Amino acid sequence: MEFITYEQDGFVGVITINRPKALNALNSQVLDELNETLDSINLDNTRALILTGAGDKSFVAGADIGEMSTLTKAEGEAFGKKGNDVFRKLETFPIPVIAAVNGFALGGGCEISMSCDIRICSENAIFGQPEVGLGITPGFGGTQRLARLVGAGMAKQMIYTARNIKADEAYRIGLVNAVYPADELMEQARKMAAGIAANAPIAVRNCKKAINDGLQVDMDQAIVIEEKLFGDCFETEDQKAGMSNFLEKDKEKKLKVVPFQNK
Ligand code: CAA
């Protein structure tokens, strides 16, 4: 792979978009490689992912403007679909994904971070949807996910004005969960991912599915989704071990990772 690196660190996988000369902008090749990387992850030994960008200046500076500049209407739609398909794969990936946003997260960069479960960023991070300044709409999910994350009013303001916001404002509006000095960002991301990986993996996956699927339907259907996924947990070794450790008051074991069990 030319533009994506993948590193396995225990139960945590780290995906780095590595095209620093173009501030990690997403061209078709980057999207294809990201797609392939996700397909190749071994879910039997990976419990959380971190997504970040190479270098200390940019997470992802958007979709590749050079590549988009000559697209026809049909090609534009196809390019949007290509990005959306990969981002949706990330969003529905069975395990949690943390975006460690280390600098510019503009256009497709903001959009890919929003396809992750959790966003944390460095103090120098800049978020924005500058597309209308380029004569296009956000095309990799920005018109949909930003409104769901920060509310329609704030999303419309950001998208219509194309104004970028700094890390502290992204934190204030709830776009990111936490802001760290740049040199602490990856350490914090790894710490969070390790914390997730220390919990019962099937339960964590079921939580992701329950939250994601439940948000797509009304509350009556949503609680049924929860009930089924809650019930499924009772077929796992993790539930039996986790609860008996608690009941046996084995403080040592109570907080320990229970072994991974495939369904
Ligand atoms: N596409 C292609 N190349 C890009 C790029 C992008 N989105 N962003 C940066 N680059 C390239 C630049 O062309 C430049 O390449 P050269 O050295 O070959 O000239 C290199 O990265 C470094 O960029 P700058 O010299 O511009 O760096 P800077 O520090 O002066 O500015 C920046 C940084 C403010 C992020 C600026 O690069 C910028 O505004 N980039 C574009 C951001 C943008 O508009 N993103 C949205 C794209 S549209 C989109 O994403 C659509 C969608 O929803 C699908």
Specify whether the CB–CB gap between 83 and 99 falls below 8 A: no
Instruction: Judge if the beta carbon of residue 71 lies within 6 A of ligand 1.
Output: no
> What pLDDT is attached to residue 254?
54
- What the block records as the tokens of 224 is 């049924």
Instruction: Judge if the beta carbon of residue 149 lies within 6 A of ligand 1.
Output: no
Q: What is the pLDDT of residues 16-52, one digit of tens each?
A: 999 999 999 999 999 999 999 999 999 999 999 999 9
The residue ranges of every structural domain in the chain are: 4-197, 201-256
Catalytic residue among 2, 7, 123, 131: 131
CATH number of 4-197: 3.90.226.10
The phi, psi pair for 219, rounded to 5°, reads -60, -35
Residue with tokens 């220390």: 198
Q: Is 252 a catalytic residue?
A: no
Round the average pLDDT of the chain to a whole number and report it: 95
Q: Output the CA 224–ligand 1 centroid distance in Å.
A: 45
> What pLDDT is attached to residue 253?
60
Helices 201-214 and 219-233 meet at what angle, rounded to 10? 170
Q: What is the pLDDT of residues 147-160, one digit of tens each?
A: 999 999 999 999 99
End-to-end CA distance of the chain: 32
> What pLDDT is attached to residue 213?
98
Residue 165 in this model has a pLDDT that exceeds 80:
yes
Question: Nearest C-alpha to atom 44 of ligand 1 is from which residue?
Answer: 130
Architecture of domain 201-256 in this structure? Orthogonal Bundle (1.10)
Residue 263 in this model has a pLDDT that exceeds 50:
no
> What pLDDT is attached to residue 191?
98
Q: Output the CA 51–ligand 1 centroid distance in Å.
A: 19
Catalytic residue among 75, 111, 169, 184: 111
Check residue 134 and report its DSSP letter: G
pLDDT category, 249, cuts 50, 70, 90? confident
Mean pLDDT of 243-257: 73
pTM: 0.95
Strand partners, 128: 106
